[in-house]
Amino acid sequence: MIRDATEHDIPEIRAMIRELAAYERAVEQARATDEQLREALFGARPAAYALIVEDDTTGEVVGYALWFPRFSTWTGTRGMHLEDLYVRPHARGGGHGRSLLAFLAALCLRSGYERFEWWVLDWNDPAVDFYRSLGADFLDEWRICRLTDEPLRHLARQEKTAPGPRGDRGPGAAG
């Protein structure tokens, strides 16, 4: 069974985030707190949305998906970015991941979204094979760029703030 996450699911979601991070060999990077997740998923301006998948027989939470809308200047339409797809190891192979992706694909179409995108680590052969079996394209010509920590702070110090109001076009949008 797939359902929208509720605030009561936050501890379980955070636990699964840490499980996913451990699998991806980056558990030290999974620092989100329950309060941060509560604000991101259920605050006044949600940054993302989460689905929970439960085992039909036991009702146990066996996985989740966390996604947020994107916008393409090329198509002029929104799309969906899947940040996390996770099914607990003991429940893998039971169709839960495929069900979550099918649910999200249908949500994309109902919402008028033209793209459904996510990232996968190149060494995660089971996931790569699974996504290929669904017909996913791998965009090898694109590279992910990321600034964090000191490089992010260094670049931010170079900002030359223009006078006047910034408006409310998004967090920190230039005026």
Q: Which residues are catalytic?
A: 131
What is the three-class DSSP state of 69?
strand
Give me the residues paired with residue 35 across strands: none
* Phi, psi at 129, each rounded to 5°: -60, -40
Task: Could you list the beta-strand ranges (E) of the chain.
Answer: 2-4, 49-54, 61-72, 77-87, 115-118
Alpha carbon distance 165, 175 (integer Å): 6
Cβ–Cβ < 8 Å for 51, 118: no
Cβ–Cβ < 8 Å for 138, 127: no
Alpha carbon distance 36, 95 (integer Å): 30
